Structures are given as structure tokens and as C-alpha cells.
Structure 1
């Protein structure tokens, strides 16, 4: 029997994969973040306004032989809103008309209203101290000479007196002025006035730009 040998050669190929080293860029990258704030152009929105001004009620008191001072107990406040984009400043002035009794045509004479220095606060949190308007306090309280504020006269031809002013760069946002339990508004009525139920017009005027 003839034997046939079959030889099979197995070729083993070894594949070697070389390592490729990638370059790593460790330098920081600087990108831009932008925002554009614009003024509100909605005609229904007031950019500068007296948002709130409380009525004042000094109650009642019996007539005596000396001058009397009544205090406002309702914690009145003022709210000023300035959402203009460049914060040019503003001033708030006040005037007080005659106190009249419509039932008998009587008029109170020599009346003065005292505003203690008002405390201004805002809900904003940025640079509050640097942006707070100034409250004027050149006069003394009728009740306490250590309390400073502003006196205005009741008159049939009332004149404005600046109560709060804000120079350029201040007063933007919304500011609420309040009076605490110690410093109250006072109404001083000289002796010699007659009994009656009197009412006056208290007018606040907001002006664009500060006024000395």
C-alpha cells in the first residue's frame, strides 16, 4: 500500500499594534457671555413714579389753652419706583394745603406738619448702601429736639419742600419709605383755633433729577 503524506504548514502571523500617543491641550479656553439690558418701552409702564403715598390721619384731640401736637399712628409709607436705565436721579417734594372744615368754612391757622427722617429700603440686593437716596432732616421735632426731620407749613398757597433726593447714580429700583414707632409724623396746631372736622390736601411731587 502506498502511503501519501500530506504536510500542512501553518503560518502564524502575529499582528503588533503600535501605541499612538495623543497630544493633550491643557491651556484654558476663554469664551464670551453676553447680556443686553434695555429700557422698558411699554407705554403702559411708568419708568419713574410715586407708586404709593398713604393718607394721613391724626385722629382727634380736645382743645386746650396751649399748642397741641398730634401724631400719625397708622404707620404711613411712601413708595418710589425708578426703572430708567441710566439712573439720572430724582427728588420728591411735598406741600400742604389749608386745613378746612367744609361744614362751617373754618380754617386752621398756623399749622405745621413734621416729617421725621424717613427710613428707605429696597428689595434689591446690589449696592444698596451706595444707591440709597438721601432724606432731608434740617428741622427739629415738636416733641423731641433730638429727632430731626422736615417741617412744612399749611397754606392756601402751599410751596413745595424737598423731602427726599437722589443724585445721579442713586435711587434706581423701588424704594419704600417708612416711619418707625419712635419717629412719627407730627401735626402741630397752635392754640386759639376753633373746633371742627378739618381736611387738607397733601401733594407729593416727583421731579426728574435731584433738586437742592
Structure 2
């Protein structure tokens, strides 16, 4: 019994001795080091189009819009740029005696904007459409609707405030707001994507009035997209 007590006592004293040595350690010297990084605006930077379905996916399909295969993007450089806009296709249809809403063939058409100014000033994207024409022939009364768009960041880790989007009805040549980034928002890359069924996308529809189409005629309209360096 005495032997056992002696061993236990020795261990306890050793532990106390080592613990006491650790407790007496003091800091003898300190110094600080600096870590620095400097940024300038993305002047001259070209931001390529991202995957509209999953912007974080680096394997961007080629082309990004299979219905619009010859569209590589605008090639505009920064620091504030429109990077990509889909050309909307409606295909070929037989003339009917009714008003018809034709659905876009594109499954995931989108518009992409990048702000690399680093100034948090905000921005606004607007658009206006010309009449559908073929030479001097006009598709009178035609309107084009973009609805149910979804705003996506080019990177899911982007902490900037997202721009807001608007449904659009092109019914004349007036400019319509598409996206609007308030002050301190919209930094980095942002998309509005109008996703729907491939070959029958209800998010984008061309409304044609009965009695206006002419046979064997392809009508074309242009949308002019305008990016301003301040919000609306």
C-alpha cells in the first residue's frame, strides 16, 4: 500500500513541476508583417459569356446558345460592358386567320453585363426594338414580350447586391428597362436568363396580328441594347 502511494505522489509532483514550467513562459519579442494588394478598374478586359444554366460551370457549352450557334458574344471590353445577347429565333410557320403568339425556339436566351469599375456607382440596361420588316413590308401590330426572367450572378460567391430585372413588352420603338443595378450593386458579371422549353419557350413570345403576314416573307427586327453607367 505504501509503495503504491509513493508512485502516485511522484507522478503528481512531476506533472505539477512541468505544468509550472509552462506557466512561467513569457513572450520575449513581437513583430508585425504586412500583406498588400492593389486593384485598378478592369479597363480593356473582355468578359466572355458564361453558361446561362449554371454560370459557375467552367465548361461553357460551345455555342452557349445552340439555337444561336454563330453568336460568340459582343467582344466588348470593360470596365462596363454588354458581354452577350441572344438572337431570338421563331422559325417558320404557316399563316393562319388568327392572332398567334409564337414561342421562341431558344431554350435559355440571355443577356450578360459585367461591371469591373470597382466604384459601386450602379448601372442600367435598357433596350428598344425596331419594327419587324422585310424590305418595305411591315408586320404591323406585332409585339415582342420577354417575361419571367431570372437574374443570375456570374459567380455564386459574388456578394454584391443583385440588379433587379423587369418584364418587357416591345410594342413601339420606346426604350424599356431590362436590368437596373442601384448604387453599390451590380458589381461583377450578371445575367438575366429567360429559360423555357426548347423550341417552345413561353418566356419570350412574338404576338402577330391576323391579316398582317405575307407568304414567302422573312421579317426581321433589331433590338438595340443600351448600358448606362448609372442606375435609373
SS at match of 1:163: strand
Contact 1:114/1:152 (8 A) holds in 2: yes
Cα deviations by residue, 1:76-112 (Å, 9 ceiling, x for unpaired): 111111011122111111111011112xx21011111
1:135 aligned residue: 165
> Deviation of residue 190 (structure 1)?
1.1
1:197 aligned residue: 218
Contact 2:42/2:117 (8 A) holds in 1: no
1:57 aligned residue: 89
* Bigger helix share: 2
> Deviation of residue 117 (structure 1)?
3.1
2:132 aligned residue: 99
Larger Rg: 1
1:187 aligned residue: 206
Contact 2:148/2:203 (8 A) holds in 1: no
1:207 aligned residue: 228
Q: How does 1:153-168 map to 2 (within 5 A)?
A: 153-154=171-172, 158-168=173-183
Unaligned runs of 5+ in 1: 1-20, 137-148
1:89 aligns with 2:104: no
1:66 aligned residue: 98
Contact 1:83/1:172 (8 A) holds in 2: yes
Unaligned runs of 5+ in 2: 1-20, 46-76
Contact 2:109/2:195 (8 A) holds in 1: no
TM-score (norm 2): 0.66
> Deviation of residue 25 (structure 1)?
2.0
Q: 1:33 to 1:131 in 2, by over 3 A?
A: farther
> How many residues of Structure 1 are paired with residues of Structure 2 in the alignment?
173
> Deviation of residue 29 (structure 1)?
6.2
Contact 2:145/2:206 (8 A) holds in 1: yes
Aligned-residue Cα RMSD (Å) equals 2.7
